[in-house]
Amino acid sequence: MRSARLVGYTFGGLSAAYAGYYMVLYLTRWEWQRALMSGVLLLVVEVFLATVVLLTRFARIEERMEASDARVEEVRRRLEQSRQQHPGQFRWVRSVDMQELDGTQRTFVFVPVLMAAGAALSGVAMVIQKIAGATARPGAERRLAGRLAALTAPELGPRDPRTTIENRPATAPARTGRKLTAAAAALGGLILVPVLWSALADATQTRAEDTPDAAGTTVVFQVDYSGTGGEAARQLAAQDLWETCRRSTAAQNDKATLSRLDDGVYSAVLRPALPDHDLMRLRGCIEDASTNRAVATVLGEGQAYSEN
């Protein structure tokens, strides 16, 4: 059981790290669809890990409750066994067979017997005792057993049967190494989170940047079309994909042309030239977009400089 939980935690932890890494990577590349899929996968893995942890805690709580109930029942059985029966209660009101005397003499002189009030009170007391013994004893013994269960010695575990109560320390040993590791991890997280936050914010920023000193930007990409309609449908899908992605940049690119170079290969030229960050956003959009059963792969991009 423990090995299965360890395998589940290991698998879930590696999957969460893998999905989280690619989610951040796709965000920095402006590939929103892939980042969304990675985020959903990360959420599923987190729910899986949380479910495993909750089920493990519930199983432990159930085991402890069963063990506690068993100990309470054991104490109650021992109380029942230790309880002594007293058949001689109120023997003086019972009739005695003459043969039981065996020739001995017995005087039945008892003050309450000589008094009617004493006999009546004794009878009432006997009835009360019978009723109390039949009603109050089980509940009282169960409550007493529940109180005494905390004082009973715990059962020896199967892994170390030689361990006794006397060999156990009164207080848990100090775990200085674990505390230092936890403090170092917390400090590292406090330092790392702002750094990663700043890096991700810079990678996904949408503010306008300075235009580079270039005549234009060229992007060459290949379109794979899985629909019907032939080359005309491919051309329409490529044009739709390009018009969608060229507007994803923060820079103005009103002068953008798309030309067909080869079978499924297209070249796009934008003027004025795009900054590096906008060029990264354009590349991410082209490779991430899926329009009319068409997907694209960027073959190359760069700045086109004019000859002076």
Residue 69 lies in a domain: yes
What's the confidence (pLDDT) of residue 116? 63
Is 46 domain-assigned?
yes
Q: Are 2 and 145 members of one domain?
A: yes
Domain count, the chain: 2
137 within a domain of the structure (yes/no): yes
140 and 228 fall within a common domain: no
Is 160 a domain residue?
no
**Tokens 């503010």 map to which residue?**
207
Residues 14 and 128 in one domain: yes
Cα→Cα distances 112→94, 105, 106, 115, 201, Å: 14, 21, 17, 5, 98
Whether 67 and 148 map to the same domain: the answer is yes
Q: Which distant-in-sequence residues (6+ apart) come within 8 Å of 298 by Cβ?
A: 219, 220, 221, 283, 286, 287
Q: Do 49 and 127 lie in a common domain?
A: yes
Both 150 and 226 in a single domain? no
**Is residue 29 located within the same domain as residue 119?**
yes
User: pTM (2 decimals)?
Assistant: 0.54
Residue 91 domain flag: no
* Domain containing residue 288: CATH number: 3.30.70.3400
Which pair of tokens denotes residue 198? 């700043």
Residue 166 lies in a domain: no
Residue 138 has pLDDT above 70, yes or no: no
pLDDT at 281 over 80: yes
Q: Which domain holds residue 230?
A: 216-304
pLDDT digits (tens, 9 = 90+) for 157-208: 555 555 555 565 656 666 777 888 888 888 888 888 888 777 777 777 767 6
- Give the DSSP H or E segment for 261: strand 255-262
